[in-house]
Structure 1
Amino acid sequence: MSASRTFGIAMRANTTVAPRRCSHEPVDEAALLITCLRGLPCIVPEDTNWELLLDLARENGVLLLLQQALLALGADVPGFFRDAAAECRAAAERLAGELECLLRGFQGLHVEALAFKGPTLALALYGDVTLRSSNDLDLLVRHDDFLRCEVWLINQGFIALGPASEHDRRFVRDGLLVELHFELAAYRDFPLDVDGIWRRSRPADFCGQFVRAMSDIDLVLYLCAHGLKHGFSRLIWILDVARSLHGWHRNAYEEMMRQARRQGLEPHLLIGCEVVRSMFPQQLPEALDAVIIMSPKAAKRARHAAARLFSENLEVVINDFRSFYLQAEPGALKRWRYRFGYLGPTYTDYLWARSHRIYPGLMVILRPFRLLHKYGLGRVWRVLFPEQ
């Protein structure tokens, strides 16, 4: 169940007291999950559907965080729930061990790697590599080092899953998926300044291995962009943004806003902040809120876009980050540039052209027709011209 659906049904219950029973929808368990993650006091009902609560926590990537909150409440957690949490913790520990080995190998190549998401993010935001579960490892290396790292991974028994994309290449070995990046994302989607991220990055330590970490501001901007790309459809992505914003001085929040504007990421940042406000209002710092209200028009647009993420009318809402960006971007010229960029050919379009022996230059014309064929006129229109 997505974060938007979980939030929608939870809000129909009083999340500060023992939830009421409902025979048709999992209102009680969703409300309990939200309340625990908010850190609010509550009573865990004796008739809690623990199987359903476990499924909700797994789907939203917050099982160990939920268990931590339940133990703090003194809840009588059933054995199968504890076993599932232990299995999740063990998987996270194994992934951390794999990352440690990769970093050691890259050090042997004299390659600096910037680890993001996964165990390093868990350690940075939650203080424990096991508290944030992940399914793969993401490593950013510089363009000049990418080929050497590819060769090294293959020599270590990894198998490449296809050619490199516009920003990464995926490798797998014994079920372990490694995404080796030379860019954080396709630039047409998010204008993340990877060279600037490298310059602003800082040295860090992960289990005794050298690694580079994003600056605090870059991490927030990346998490907002990544969460928006996926429609903030998992609670862990919202919690990540909330945790990354803690403990700053007001002048640091102001600098974050300035940097977001310079990079064209202000709508992504503001939507991320408004999503945190909607789901975990207690965790949005007051000093940041004071900075946000200094841009009332941009903040209003972001609130409107964030509200759509939690709409229950799922047949109407198009879960496409482009429409949310266009809804939050205050500049008309930037909105039109973004629309034209969306209609421009992508790396996937060029692969399709090559597989069909079509001259690549024709994709400038064919791209809009491919979009219409795949999504239909109605969806494309709603993405490019969302309700304001």
Structure 2
Amino acid sequence: MAAFRTPVTATQTCSAISLRQCADDPSPETALLITCLRGLPYLVPEDVDWKVLLDLARENGVLLLVHQSMFAMGADMPGFFRIAARECQAFAEWLAEELKELLQDFRDLRIEVLPLKGPSLALTLYGDVALRASNDLDLLVRRDDFPRCETLLLGRGFIGLGPAGEHDRRFIRDELLVELHFELASPRDFPFDIDHIWSRSRPHDFRGQPVRAMSDADLVLYLCSHGLKHGFSRLIWIMDVARALRGWQPDAYEEMVQQARREGLQPYLLIGCEVVRAMFPQLLPEALDIATSASPKAVALARAAAWRLFSENRQVVINDYRGLYLQAEPHVLRRWRYRFRYLMPTYSDYQWARRHRVQSGLMVVVRPFRLLHKYGFRKALRIAFPRS
């Protein structure tokens, strides 16, 4: 991963950034952005381009964190930068109030809700809903409650954006987008045991409304898998993992590593940790290094996979997270299980079958040909058998 220097007035050298083009030719604004997020002391260069810095902070979802850091350092921020931060804060607060109202509706129906990301995650990781920007609300409910939740949202004026997929359904009302989940993600790509997620969850509170919250280990594993699915292409996803790993007892890290290994989620965890190490090394707990040292081969594979996230074209990486998993999984049997699971028909495959009047039972045979048509032979082969 390419190294670069912060502005001459900063005090540290940054080792990596998330955007490939910035890693190849880093700007002073990029270096300043990373230094802000690392929590290191710095001085803002007089020639900083605040518009470039604002665009970078927005693109990476960290405007609120950068503004907080600048404010704490007493930086003289231009008016448009402060206004942009206030607008982002106002939207975050509005989203939090919308979440509170929805939680009240779910409580009236005695439906348990586990918010994913959004204002609830901001409060958990950053201590303030106005420190993490979000665009929508992601809510996890039990599969048996899902039909009632759909009815509730439709009755509150939401419009369904298509039918339910493999793990969620999207709804919109005015500017508010809600993703209603009954699984965390596609089970074929991210093998979370949703029943165990619920059983390990704990009672929590969001602005006076009862919610469920994931266990600390489940939250880290979810954030790692979510970040990998998107190629960790935004700094906020790396910050989320780093924040979620803070403040544990040493033995808790070992328990999380063992859980990840049992559930086939170890590659996601280790890749996420290695990305944090590359970007925010001072935020990675030393006890986690000790916990993962028992699996040196898995760590080495994950480090190589994380390297690709910083060195390859972003679009290739985002579409190739399955290949990253396979590259980082040290167990041969689990790699083959993952390949076979990827070949099983998806919800979109069955939709395609209905549109083309193809018997659903034939999709087991048709699925490989659809993959070849979508990716081409060389890319499909690379995903299933990534280079070491």
Give me the TM-score of the superposition, normalised by structure 1: 0.94
SS at match of 1:178: strand
Mapped partners of 1:381, 1:51: distance in 2: 42
Letter in 2 for 1:170: R
- Bigger mean CA deviation after superposition, 351-360 or 59-68: 351-360
CA distance in 1, matches of 2:243, 2:8: 22
Q: How many aligned positions are there?
A: 378
CA deviation after TM superposition for structure 1 residue 73, in Å:
2.1
Query: Is contact 2:271–2:302 with CA below 8 Å preserved after alignment?
Result: yes
| Partner Cα distance (2:294, 2:262) in 1 | 17
| Alpha-carbon shift at residue 16 of structure 1 (Å) | 7.3
Which residue number in structure 1 is paired with residue 16 of structure 2? none
Residue number in structure 1 paired with 2:206: 206
Counterpart residue number, 2:324: 324
Measured after TM superposition, the shift of residue 142 of structure 1 is: 1.0
The residue aligned with 2:42 is 42
2:177 alignment partner in structure 1: 177
Shift of 1:316: 7.3
1:206 deviation in Å? 0.5
Counterpart contact for 2:231–2:318, Cα < 8 Å: no
SS at match of 1:275: helix
Asked if the contact 1:62–1:133 (Cα under 8 Å) also holds between the matched residues in 2, the reply is: yes
Query: Residue type matched to 2:272 in 1?
Result: G
1:207-222 maps to which residues of 2 (within 5 A)?
207-222=207-222
Matched residue, 1:27: 27
Partner SS state of residue 233, structure 1: coil
C-alpha distance in 2 between matches for 1:35 and 1:330? 34
Q: How does 1:49-60 map to 2 (within 5 A)?
A: 49-60=49-60
> For residue 356 of structure 1, what is the aligned residue in structure 2?
356
Q: Would the aligned equivalents of 1:318 and 1:382 in 2 still touch at CA under 8 Å?
A: no
- In 1, Cα distance between equivalents of 2:106 and 2:313: 48
Give the conservation status (yes or no) of the 8 Å contact 1:318–1:383.
no
Distance in 1, matches of 2:232 and 2:315, equals: 17
Residue in 2 aligned with 1:77? 77
- CA 1:196–1:318 in 2, change beyond 3 Å: closer, same or farther? closer
Distance 1:89-1:291 versus aligned 2 partners, 3 A rule: same
Equivalent-residue separation in structure 2 for 1:47 and 1:53 (angstroms): 12
For 1:165, the equivalent position in structure 2 comes to: 165
Contact 1:16 1:40 in 2 (8 A): no
Partner of 1:3: none
Q: CA RMSD in A?
A: 1.9
Rate the CA distance shift 1:322–1:17 in 2: closer, same or farther, 3 A. farther
Matched letter for residue 76 of structure 2? D
Which amino acid letter does the alignment assign opposite residue 138 of structure 1?
D
Query: Percent identical across equivalent pairs?
Result: 68
TM-score for the superposition, normalised by structure 2: 0.94
Q: Are the structure 2 counterparts of residues 316 and 230 from structure 1 closer, same or farther at C-alpha, using a change threshold of 3 Å?
A: closer
Aligned residue type for 2:29? E
The corresponding residue for 1:102 is 102
| Residues 291-300 or 122-131, more deviating | 291-300
Structure 2 residue aligned with 1:336:
336
| TM-aligned CA deviation for residue 156 of structure 1 | 0.6
Taking the aligned partners of 2:173 and 2:313, their CA distance within structure 1 comes to: 41
1:12 and 2:7 are equivalent in the alignment: no
Change (3 A) 1:318 1:140: closer
CA distance in 1, matches of 2:222, 2:166: 17
Say yes or no: does 1:229 pair with 2:229.
yes
Residue 138 of structure 2: aligned partner: 138
Q: Which residue of 1 aligns with 2:120?
A: 120
> 1:136·1:176 contact (CA, 8 Å) conserved in 2?
yes
* 1:309-348 Cα distance to aligned partner (Å, 9 max, x none): 0005669757521011001000011111111221221111
Instruction: After superposing the two structures, state which structure 1 stretch, 367-376 or 128-137, moved more.
Output: 367-376
C-alpha contact (below 8 Å) 2:7/2:45 kept by paired residues:
no
Separation in structure 2 between the aligned mates of residue 98 and residue 336 of structure 1, nearest angstrom? 44
* Structure 1 unaligned residues grouped into runs of 5+: 1-6
